[in-house]
Each structure stands twice: as C-alpha cells, then as structure tokens.
C-alpha cells in the first residue's frame, strides 16, 4: 500500500495525537464524545500541506454532520483566523487566549454557557474545538465543558483530564502545562462546591523562594506580577544570589540592591507595600546568568485570587494530605516571618510551575525549588481600597490553614528582602517563643526593640522572601511619624497598582 507523502508529513507533525483515519480522511481530529470534537488548526495555503487542510475539514464536517456543527477557534493569533463561510459561518472566536497559558475563570464560564446554548438549541449539534495544535488550549476548554455539561459522567477534574488525554493522545499526555491543569481543577472544584464565582481581592506582599543551599540558580533573580491582560502590577529589582551565604551575613544592615543600582528612591523599611490583586494573576520569574548578563525568563505560573479567599476553596487548597500527585492546585498555608509577622502563602512546587515542570534533569532549578505567594487577606472592616470596589472582596470567616514551618524548622536558613529590598540574614534575627533569655537592651537601639528572640537556624536550605518596594509617592515627613510595628489591618500602607 502506497502512503500519501502529505498524509505522512501530517502524521509526523501531529506527533502522538490520535487522528481520524476513516472513509478516506486522514485528519488531526478526535471525537472526545460523540458530539464533541477536538482537532488541530484548519490551515490553508502552504500550511495546509502539513496541518489539517481547511478544505478537507470542511468536507469532513459536511459529510458527517451536515450543517449541524459549531466551531470554537481558541487561537488569539491574528494569523490563525479564517473565513467562516467555509463552515456555514458557524465559527466563534470570542473565547480565544494565548498559547501555553490558561483562560480566565470568567472566560471558561462564558464558553461553557455559550456551548450549552448551542447544544440545547440543536440537541444533535456537534461542537468542534480547536487551537493551533489541538491539544493544550483545546484540552482545557474540552475538559471544562465535560465538567460543566456532562456532570453525570465527568465530575472529577483530574479524572476528566485523564479521560481527555486518553481520548486525544496515544501516550496519555493531553493537557500538560501546570497552570492550564490548575485552571481545570479550579473550575471543577468551583462546580462541585456549587458556589457562585464572585471576584475576590488579596493584598500581595511578596514572594518566598526556597531551594537547597548547595544549589545555585543564577547570578541574580527578579520577578513581575501581571494581571490577566498582562499589564504589570509590580516589577521587582534584581536580587543577587551568591553561592556562599556568608557573603550575605557580611552585608551591612542598610544594604540595598536599589542603592547599588541607583534606580529608584527607597521608602522606609517599615512602610510595607501591599498590592491589591484580583482574579487571574501571572507571576513571572527572571534570572541573570552572569553579573553582566541580561535577565532571561526562567518560569511563570498563573493563579486566581478567588480560590485563596472563598472558604470552601481554602479548605481544598489547605488539605495537603488529600492532594493527589497529579494535582497542580498548589498548597495554601501560613508561616511566621520575623519582623514581618504572620503571612499567608500559596505555594507551588517545581512541578506546579510552567517552564520548570519538564526540567527532569534539574538543569534550570533544583528539585527542591518552590515559590510561595505571600499575601494578606483584606479585613472585613475595610472601607476603602484602591482600584477595586470593596463589595467584590468582602471576606467570609477565614478557615484555618496548614502551618508550614518555613521559619521555625531547624533545617532551614532563611533570608528575606524587606519592603525596601534590603537583604536580611534571618540567622541574625531572634524569634520570641516565651522561653528564650531576654536580649541585652544596652546593645539594641530603638529600632531593634521589636525584633523577636530566636535560636540559631542551620543552613541546609535557602529561602528568600522578596517583598515589593512601594513605588507610590512618599512624603519625607512620614518617617517622623511612622512606628516600628505595622497594623496588619491598617489600609494606609496599601500600594496603588501600576496603570
């Protein structure tokens, strides 16, 4: 039997995705259900030689489903749009989003409601979902549709992801990007909890990054915080990462990366910055490989603030013991950081982070690498918040969180970057446990009276808490009236988001 060379090329491009090879067709197309199709992009011109040819797809749908089909094009790229007249003008591009990223929770809800309308209007209608390759973005929306519309058979998000992978691929690898899988899990738990999705806010206070001390990431590290439309809410400065922790211990107390860079004015260290974040948030981590090199993107991940605030979702994210290995939800917990107080944190392990999940040989980051989002809940008594209406972020009673002994553990060595981006060696700080000897007050100045007593901490692990430097306007007269202790419920220190 002679194989068509063009079909052979298409099979190579489609890799491990299952193809429809019947009735004279050979298409990168799979029936996930009898009336739900996942397929690759229907291309024209030269690209149609090695991808699905748009003419072949049109002929297939017409021969199998007449005009009772509806196509969802998830490609946001302008070059991936095509003439809908080839498909009876039954093509929708309203739910497109960027490749290798998840859709927003609101977009998922809108897509499922739109698809439900199509299926109810014409019960024998077939929905056709595609992106470019027809696997990642297509898989996210296909799984969410199964969870939403076919709940009697599909009510477990992880099992639904597994079902899609088996239907769409021959190697069981369907939706593999952690953030995309996380959003399918988010949506599944949202449906199972039977609660209404209402946008919630948190107050971002920094990142906590940990890894084994004998591992060195790169010369320096920085990060950005972005909203769903990729607008920057905060951009940090480069933080140096040295191999020998004694280099840090020798730094003067007032050392600042900003001082060395001469970039921005530094507000007082006790003027903590808290940045309001709402709904879908993107954290990007950048590294500089050499001291004179340019920052390169190391990894990123998405999360949604609603699931950190809603009590039922808090219970799910906090339940570490019941978390399955395939889950990419992350873990909600809390810890006590000296001089900064009690912090809530949302932790992602290396396998939960986009860009690091495939680093099996640990060339990009050690296996112990974790990133935690540090944040505060918005008090119910708040009367004013920047940029967002208070009605959309009022908290219910907070649920208990799992204690993560990041500071108290005898196996950790902890360093923080405070709100003025100053490096502080936590071995030199003291945590008050009610039993330690009193500090010698004659050797302490006024600013050190509130530091906590603490036993020395060994240095098997490193942890960096990267706190935002407040970039809002600062009045020098504030330094005369500011105190050493900051009320966590005081909204006066909330930093305005960047426009």
Active site residues: 131
**Under 8 Å between Cβ of 352 and 182:** yes
Which uninterrupted H or E stretch holds 466?
strand 461-466
**Under 8 Å between Cβ of 227 and 331:** no
Q: Residue 124: CB partners within 8 Å, gap ≥ 6?
A: 35, 68
313 DSSP 8-state letter: H
Bridge partners of 37, per DSSP, are: 31, 128
SS3 491: helix
What CA–CA distance (Å, rounded) separates 335 from 150? 40
Bridge partners of 342, per DSSP, are: 336
- Assigned token pair, 481: 């009236």
Burial of 242 (C-beta count, 10 Å sphere; 0-12/13-18/19+): exposed
142 DSSP 8-state letter: H
Q: Length of the chain, please?
A: 499
Residue whose structure tokens are 């809603």? 310
Burial of 240 (C-beta count, 10 Å sphere; 0-12/13-18/19+): middle
Cα–Cα distances in Å, from 310 out to 74, 304, 377, 393, 424? 29, 11, 11, 10, 34
- Assigned token pair, 257: 């990366």
Cα–Cα distances in Å, from 248 out to 3, 28, 68, 424? 65, 55, 67, 8
- Reference 80, options 35, 137, 118, 150; nearest CA is 137
Q: What DSSP line would sit under 67-128, residue for residue?
A: T-EEEEE-B-SGGG---GGGGTT-EE-TT-B-TTSPPPHHHHHHHHHHHHHHHHHSTT-EEE
Cα–Cα distances in Å, from 111 out to 186, 193, 424, 450? 15, 20, 47, 52
**Under 8 Å between Cβ of 219 and 293:** yes
**Other beta carbons less than 10 A from residue 83's beta carbon:** 10
**Dihedral (C-alpha) 449, 454, 460, 466: value to the nearest 10 degrees?**
-30
What CA–CA distance (Å, rounded) separates 155 from 419? 43
């Amino acid at each position: 039997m002679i194989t068509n060379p063009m079909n052979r090329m298409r099979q190579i491009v489609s890799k491990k995705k299952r193809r429809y090879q019947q009735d004279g067709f050979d298409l990168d197309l799979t029936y996930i259900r009898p009336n739900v199709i996942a397929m690759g992009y229907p291309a024209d011109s030269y690209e149609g030689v090695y991808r699905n040819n748009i003419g072949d797809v049109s002929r297939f749908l017409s021969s199998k489903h007449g005009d009772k089909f509806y196509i969802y094009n998830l490609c946001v790229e302008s070059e991936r749009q095509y003439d809908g007249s080839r498909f009876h003008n039954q093509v929708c591009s309203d739910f497109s989003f960027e490749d290798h990223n998840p859709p927003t929770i609101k977009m998922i809800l809108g897509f499922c409601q739109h698809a439900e309308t199509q299926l109810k209007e014409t019960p024998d209608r077939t929905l056709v979902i595609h992106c470019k390759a027809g696997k990642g973005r297509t898989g996210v929306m296909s799984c969410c549709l199964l969870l939403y519309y076919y709940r009697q058979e599909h009510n477990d998000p992880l099992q639904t992801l597994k079902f899609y992978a088996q239907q769409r691929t021959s190697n069981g690898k369907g939706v593999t990007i952690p953030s995309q899988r996380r959003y399918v899990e988010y949506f599944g738990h949202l449906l199972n909890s039977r609660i209404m999705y209402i946008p919630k806010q948190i107050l971002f206070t920094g990142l906590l990054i940990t890894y084994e001390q004998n591992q060195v990431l790169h010369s320096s590290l920085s990060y950005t915080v972005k909203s769903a439309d990729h607008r920057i809410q905060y951009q940090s400065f480069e933080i140096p990462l040295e191999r020998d922790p004694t280099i840090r211990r020798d730094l003067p107390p007032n050392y600042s990366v900003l001082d060395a860079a001469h970039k921005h004015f530094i507000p007082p260290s006790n003027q903590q910055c808290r940045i309001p974040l709402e709904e879908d948030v993107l954290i990007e981590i950048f590294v500089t490989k050499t001291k004179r090199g340019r920052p390169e993107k190391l990894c990123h991940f998405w999360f949604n603030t609603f699931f950190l605030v809603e009590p039922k979702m808090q219970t799910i994210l906090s339940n570490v013991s019941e978390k399955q290995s395939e889950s990419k939800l992350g873990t909600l917990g809390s810890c006590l950081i000296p001089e900064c107080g009690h912090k809530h944190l949302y932790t992602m392990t290396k396998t939960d982070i986009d860009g690091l999940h495939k680093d099996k040989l640990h060339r990009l980051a050690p296996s112990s690498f974790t990133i935690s989002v540090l944040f505060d809940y918005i008090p119910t008594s708040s009367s004013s918040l920047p940029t967002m209406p208070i009605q959309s972020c009022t908290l219910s009673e907070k649920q208990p969180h799992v204690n993560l002994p990041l500071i108290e553990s005898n196996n950790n060595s902890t360093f923080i970057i405070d709100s003025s981006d100053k490096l502080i060696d936590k071995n030199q700080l003291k945590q008050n446990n009610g039993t330690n000897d009193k500090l010698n007050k004659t050797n302490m100045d006024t600013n050190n009276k509130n530091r906590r007593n603490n036993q020395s901490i060994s240095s098997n692990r490193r942890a960096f808490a990267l706190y935002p430097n407040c970039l809002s306007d600062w009045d020098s007269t504030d330094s005369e009236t500011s105190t050493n202790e900051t009320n966590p419920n005081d909204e006066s220190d909330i930093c305005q988001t960047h426009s």
